[in-house]
């Protein structure tokens, strides 16, 4: 307990800044809010659901390419300058959606800019500093740092829905853009520093110079197991989330109730972050992942058929949100434990790229299935199977390696 107090007394500022930065960044804001923009964009420009959801695939492309680059830049030049620049550019490009004129091409280009310039707001940068400040209670610290996705995921959805109703969708995009610019940017400027920063007061001494290089990591089976296993997991967890409102209304639930039920995703993500982080500090993380990431398979089954009630929908959202809360910090924790902190940004960034593939293709695929069949049921059933397969694959990771055996910085 004294270790916990010591670590948190030293690193709480980094945790707070990371929670606000990640929460208002590229990971949750576009992903959680696109569902409420579907109706007004369709009404004004005549775009179909799958055309709008295709935007998340564009975002995925940018994240896949720029996520590893942002991680490498953080490893080389430090996390803080990368974060400050990216938060600013992300906010400005998010506001750019208010200028949409009906051209899908320009709409997609702005999504590519958003994901490319905003890649430094992804967990790959913030969690590097958190992992350096925390060791014994790294799982809990990562969970708390990633709480922002749940807090702002739910809040941003309701916030955007309110702005759309009162002022229109263009003002809603500007309102969303103010979140990173007015919350994350000043907080990061004053509170966020890595342990290697000369101005980081009370920073613990970490052996961040020990660990695997990206090339060394890619030679082992664990890297590819992690990368491949998280594709079906992120696909099946991420696919339904932006489509929740549409899934519920297709089951006969009215629009306002659908938005309210979907907003429960936020508190569920928060619960997943805290409970999952606490568990992986004490229990072998792949085992925890197998149990907690298999639960949404039940949710997928509950949402199929014509008998889905608001109560069933609420329970399904809780299960999906809990898993969404576990997956991000689980991925960050596994990378730090199996590969060390020497090239954490580059390794996590590349694995995150695979994760983003599933998360990006999921919403579009779910939306496409609905357009072609008039139902989300097939996508939900496929997603349930993919969750079980992906979660079970993580059990093959084996025991954590001894940090004393990690290669030193000069190793090739």
In a domain, 406, yes or no: no
| 345/79 Cα distance (integer angstroms) | 9
Q: Which residues pair with 340 in a beta bridge?
A: 211
Q: Are the C-beta atoms of residues 281 and 139 closer than 8 Å to each other?
A: yes
Number of folded domains that form the chain: 1
Distance (Å, whole) CA 183 – CA 228: 35
What is the distance between the alpha carbons of residues 240 and 356, in angstroms, rounded to a whole number?
Answer: 15
Instruction: Render each residue's pLDDT in the chain as its tens digit; 412 residues.
Output: 445 567 888 889 999 999 999 999 998 899 889 989 999 999 999 999 889 988 988 988 888 899 899 999 999 899 999 999 999 999 999 999 999 999 999 999 999 999 999 999 999 999 999 999 998 899 999 999 988 877 887 789 889 999 999 999 999 999 999 999 999 999 999 999 998 776 766 666 554 567 899 999 999 999 999 999 999 999 999 899 888 888 999 988 888 899 889 888 878 888 998 999 999 999 999 999 999 999 889 999 999 988 888 999 999 999 998 998 888 789 999 999 999 988 898 999 899 889 988 887 888 888 889 889 999 999 999 999 999 999 999 999 999 998 888 887 654 4
Domain that holds residue 158: 8-192+210-401
3-class SS of residue 314 = helix
State the Cα–Cα distance between residues 89 and 120, nearest whole angstrom. Answer: 10
Tokens for 32, please give them: 């959680």
Q: What does DSSP assign to residue 168? A: -
H or E element in which residue 25 lies:
none
Q: 23 lies in a domain? A: yes
Name the nearest CA neighbour of 157 among 299, 321, 362: 321
pTM over 0.85: no
255: in domain:
yes
Here the CATH number for the domain that contains residue 297 is: 1.20.1250.20
Question: Is the residue at 3 inside a domain?
Answer: no
Residue 367, in any domain of the structure: yes
DSSP state of 154: H
Q: Classify residue 202: in a domain, yes or no.
A: no
Q: Is 282 helix (H, G, I), strand (E, B) or coil?
A: coil
Token digits of residue 247:
């899934």
Structural domain contains residue 294: yes
229 occurs within a structural domain: yes
């Amino acid at each position: 307990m004294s270790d916990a107090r010591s670590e948190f007394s030293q690193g709480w500022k980094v945790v707070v800044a990371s929670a606000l930065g990640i929460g208002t960044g590229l990971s949750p804001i576009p992903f959680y809010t696109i569902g409420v923009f579907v109706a007004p964009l369709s009404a004004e420009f005549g775009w179909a659901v799958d055309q709008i959801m295709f935007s998340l695939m564009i975002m995925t492309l940018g994240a896949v390419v720029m996520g590893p680059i942002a991680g490498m830049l953080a490893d080389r030049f430090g996390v803080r300058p990368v974060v400050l620049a990216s938060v600013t550019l992300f906010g400005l490009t998010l506001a750019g959606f208010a200028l949409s004129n009906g051209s899908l091409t320009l709409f997609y280009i702005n999504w590519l800019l958003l994901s490319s310039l905003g890649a430094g707001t992804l967990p790959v940068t913030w969690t590097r500093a958190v992992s350096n400040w925390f060791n014994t209670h790294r799982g809990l610290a990562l969970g708390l740092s990633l709480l922002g996705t749940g807090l702002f995921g739910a809040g941003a959805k309701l916030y955007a829905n309110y702005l759309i109703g009162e002022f229109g969708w263009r003002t809603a995009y500007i309102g969303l853009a103010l979140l990173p610019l007015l919350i994350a940017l000043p907080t990061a400027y004053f509170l966020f520093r890595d342990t290697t920063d000369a101005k980081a007061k009370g920073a613990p001494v970490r052996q961040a110079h020990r660990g695997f290089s990206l090339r060394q990591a890619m030679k082992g089976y664990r890297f590819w197991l992690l990368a491949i296993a998280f594709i079906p997991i992120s696909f099946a967890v991420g696919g339904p989330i932006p489509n929740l409102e549409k899934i519920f209304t297709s089951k006969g639930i009215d629009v306002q109730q659908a938005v309210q039920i979907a907003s429960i995703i936020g508190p569920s993500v928060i619960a997943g972050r805290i409970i999952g982080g606490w568990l992986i500090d004490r229990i072998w993380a792949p085992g925890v992942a197998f149990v907690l990431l298999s639960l949404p398979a039940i949710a997928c089954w509950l949402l199929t058929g014509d008998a889905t009630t608001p109560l069933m929908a609420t329970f399904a959202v809780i299960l999906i949100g809990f898993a969404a809360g576990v997956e991000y910090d689980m991925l960050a924790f596994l990378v730090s434990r199996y590969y060390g902190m020497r090239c954490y940004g580059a390794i996590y960034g590349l694995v995150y790229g695979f994760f983003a593939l599933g998360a990006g293709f999921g919403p579009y695929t779910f939306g496409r299935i609905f357009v072609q069949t008039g139902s989300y049921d097939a996508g939900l059933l496929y997603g349930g199977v993919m969750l079980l397969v992906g979660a079970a694959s993580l059990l093959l990771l084996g025991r954590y390696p001894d940090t004393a055996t990690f290669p030193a910085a000069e190793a090739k």
